[in-house]
Amino acid sequence: MLEPVNVSLESLNLVTLAPMLIAIVGALTILVVDLVKSGLNKTMYVMLSMLFLLLDFGSLVDFAGFFAQNGTILGFFDVMLIDGLAILAQFIIVVGAMMFLPLSLTSKRFHEYSYPEYYALFLFTIAGLQFMVSTDNLILIFVGLETSSLAIYTLIAMHNRSKSFEAAVKYFTMGALAAGFYSFGAMVLYALSGSVEINQIAAVLSADGYSNIGYVLVGVAFLLASFGFKLSLVPFHTWAPDVYEGSSAAMAGFISIVPKIASFVVAMRLFEFLVQSGVVWLEVTLYVFVVVTMTASNIWALVQNDVKRMLAYSSISHAGFVMAALIIGTTQANSALFLYWAMFSFTNLGAFAMLWVNREKSLKYGQNSDHQFERFSGMVHTMPLAAVMMGLFMLSLAGIPPFGIFWGKLYMLGAAVSGGYTVLALIMALNSAIAAFYYLKLIVFMFLKEPDEQAHEKYMTNASLSLKTIIGAAAVMTVFSVFAVNPLLEFITSFVYNSGY
């Protein structure tokens, strides 16, 4: 007979679930409100979601304080693992979500924003991602990942036009394949170690000295393929441009930032111990991935005709850049990852919001995508302020100091150099130069070309006050980020360091 299990409630550390539960409760609340009274205005839902996200954020602040004092928190039979990485990642996830959510307050009417389910799914996504980062159990990671992914597929499709369906289907199908990879990889590791918890796996593997290196590598290869999909590493990136193009700009921005940071954290947990324990193959492979991803996506971004697609490739490239942290593996590098991503999120938010603001319902004659470069030509004459802001975002993305991303880049390159990866640092730096070309392309269109005769008035079709506020805030953050870097860096470094990375 099975013995009854006595579990004290305290040892469960139920509180570790708080942030995710808040998001889930938020989602359910929205669904319930809709059941009680349907047809409410979207603004209500947006603000409701914002409130829950704020609560979520508050609980994270609480955790951060707790972590700073007591270190890593385990909960629920050690399934939940709230360490510095988890807290940092959740901060980025929640803040990113809070930034992108108000983009639904458009003046134009879009399909997805008219339905409360959108907001519920949005919150579910957040919850899923939060689960994903705050555990080292492969099962929970998988479930969290799928929760968020399935919600995102739906969110993309809810934009409701044929391109968004196409994007959702592509994303979904490839996601299903990646899920297969993930489960296979997890299976191999489980077969090797008898455990699905990363620290256990690491312990077991190092205990027998990686004697079954072939198995390990097969498992890692599968997991790498799976996270390569999530992190859009070449050649697993092919979904990214299409999905970005097909989804609404706001959604695209969200996808480019929030889910990725979750995947980064998981990748850090999964791969870094392997790199550290001298699995040369993984180091080399990651090196190749980083270089190829950065370079190839930059090269493809060069030839894009659509700003959104260009930004998609650029996001791939940035992801590749950040992946370098996994190879370097020092505290500095891991801190740089978070710093970079925090800076990147502001800027990318601004850039995508800008696209969102000038979104029109129908395509003009001769266009086959929403944000062709021609649309932006001569923008500085018609809308100087908007053009300047977009220009700032582009400069920041290109890594021109003193704008946001530069500091991330600087710190990451610094980490690479300090870690002894000077050649990698050079490659990364030179890639920024390639990337500068396509960011400049937009600047060239906005500032150096004459405006298109007809297109004058329609830039801000979709703008509303809240959108403008967000863009303005993003611009301010981008410009004055230098003052935020130091506190941020100290905060991040202490968290990363105390988590043992």
Q: Which of residues 472-501 bind another protein (CB under 8 A)?
A: 482, 485-486, 489-490, 493
- Show contacts with another protein in window 311-370 (CB under 8 A): 361-362, 369
Binding flag, residue 56, another protein (CB under 8 A): no
Binding window for another protein (CB under 8 A); candidates: 2-10, 92-100, 252-260, 341-349:
2-10
Number of residues that bind another protein (CB under 8 A): 155
**Which residue, among 144, 107, 106, 202, has the nearest Cα to 24 in the 3D structure?**
144
Which residue, chain included where needed, has tokens 């009680």? 36
Binding window for another protein (CB under 8 A); candidates: 49-57, 165-173, 252-260, 316-324:
165-173
Amino acid in the structure at residue 167: A
- Show contacts with another protein in window 31-50 (CB under 8 A): 31, 38-39
Q: Is the dihedral of CA 442, 444, 446, 449 positive or negative?
A: negative
Binding flag, residue 183, another protein (CB under 8 A): yes
Report how far residue 440's alpha carbon sits from residue 298's, in angstroms, rounded to the nearest whole number.
13
Which residue, chain included where needed, has tokens 């979601």? 49
**Which residue, among 406, 464, 414, has the nearest Cα to 432 in the 3D structure?**
406
Sole binder of another protein in the list 273, 300, 344, 501 (CB under 8 A): 300
Residues 65-84 as x/- pattern, contact with another protein by CB under 8 A: -----------xx-xx----
Name residues whose C-beta falls within 8 Å of residue 86's C-beta, 6 or more positions apart in sequence: 133, 134, 265
Q: Is 135 helix (H, G, I), strand (E, B) or coil?
A: strand
The answer to whether 386 and 421 are in contact (CB under 8 A) is no
Binding window for another protein (CB under 8 A); candidates: 52-60, 169-177, 263-271, 341-349:
169-177
For 148-187, give the DSSP string: HHHHHHHHHHTT-SHHHHHHHHHHHHHHHHHHHHHHHHHH
Sole binder of another protein in the list 72, 105, 165, 464 (CB under 8 A): 165
State in angstroms the smallest separation of the CB of 418 from another protein.
5
State in angstroms the smallest separation of the CB of 305 from another protein.
7
- In terms of CB distance, is 85 or 312 closer to another protein? 312
Sole binder of another protein in the list 56, 83, 136, 242 (CB under 8 A): 242
State in angstroms the smallest separation of the CB of 391 from another protein.
8
- Show contacts with another protein in window 207-226 (CB under 8 A): 207-208, 211-215, 217-218, 220-222, 224-225
State in angstroms the smallest separation of the CB of 62 from another protein.
19
Binding flag, residue 179, another protein (CB under 8 A): yes
- In terms of CB distance, is 90 or 193 closer to another protein? 193
State in angstroms the smallest separation of the CB of 77 from another protein.
4
Report how far residue 25's alpha carbon sits from residue 9's, in angstroms, rounded to the nearest whole number.
21
State in angstroms the smallest separation of the CB of 313 from another protein.
9
- In terms of CB distance, is 148 or 348 closer to another protein? 148
Sole binder of another protein in the list 44, 98, 139, 460 (CB under 8 A): 139
Sole binder of another protein in the list 33, 44, 177, 479 (CB under 8 A): 177
Sole binder of another protein in the list 9, 35, 36, 280 (CB under 8 A): 280
Sole binder of another protein in the list 304, 315, 334, 372 (CB under 8 A): 304
Binding window for another protein (CB under 8 A); candidates: 63-71, 110-118, 260-268, 465-473:
110-118
Binding flag, residue 277, another protein (CB under 8 A): no
Give me the phi and psi of 481, to 5 degrees please: -60, -25
- Show contacts with another protein in window 190-209 (CB under 8 A): 190-196, 200, 204, 207-208
The per-residue b/e assignment along 201-230, b for 16 or more CB within 10 angstroms, e otherwise, is bbeebeeeebebeebbbbbbbbbbbbbbbb
For 329-392, give the DSSP string: -SHHHHHHHHHHHHHHHHHHHHHHHHHHHT--SSPPTT-SSTTBGGGGTTHHHH-HHHHHHHHH
The answer to whether 357 and 454 are in contact (CB under 8 A) is no
- In terms of CB distance, is 46 or 398 closer to another protein? 398
C-alpha to C-alpha distances, 113 to 96, 97, 106, 251, nearest whole angstrom? 18, 15, 9, 11
User: What is the crossing angle of helices 198-207 and 162-193, to 10°?
Assistant: 40
Report how far residue 271's alpha carbon sits from residue 263's, in angstroms, rounded to the nearest whole number.
12
State in angstroms the smallest separation of the CB of 188 from another protein.
8
Residues 404-443 as x/- pattern, contact with another protein by CB under 8 A: --xx--xx-xx--xx---x--xx--xx-xxx-xx--x--x
The answer to whether 65 and 223 are in contact (CB under 8 A) is no
Structure tokens at 362: 């129908």
